[in-house]
Amino acid sequence: MSTKASKQRVQLERRAAACRSAQHARAARACAIWREFARARAPAQVLRFFCVWDDRAALYGDRRPYRLHLFPDGSVEILETRDGNSGRDPFPVFLRRGLLPKPVRRHRV
């Protein structure tokens, strides 16, 4: 094996170790939850997260609440949680249900 290939292999192993480090423990837990959920593949189960888009740094920005649904088939849906008499137009679907494109990882060989 050439030294260039062995250096690249060592770099990849270091990156993998860094991903498993304590810094990324939260992301690893989230991935583990998602893997466990996807393994069950129960059609009636949906992961629901309540999230907030905080846009207060912008002029006239505010906080908007959303619901994020993750389905067992890998599709995602984002719904806006609208309070009554909030003065906003009723557009409850921020992102309709569908698969999200995954970024293509290109490794140099």
pLDDT tens-place string over residues 7-43:
766 766 776 666 556 456 666 676 676 666 666 655 5
Q: Which two tokens stand for residue 21?
A: 């480090």
- For 56-83, what is the mean pLDDT? 87
Q: Which of 51, 44, 91 is nearest to 68 (CA)?
A: 51
Q: Which two tokens stand for residue 6?
A: 């062995």
Name the pTM for this structure. Answer: 0.56
pLDDT digits (tens, 9 = 90+) for 85-108: 778 777 889 899 998 877 777 777
Q: Phi, psi at residue 18, to the nearest 5°?
A: -65, -35
pLDDT at 89: 79
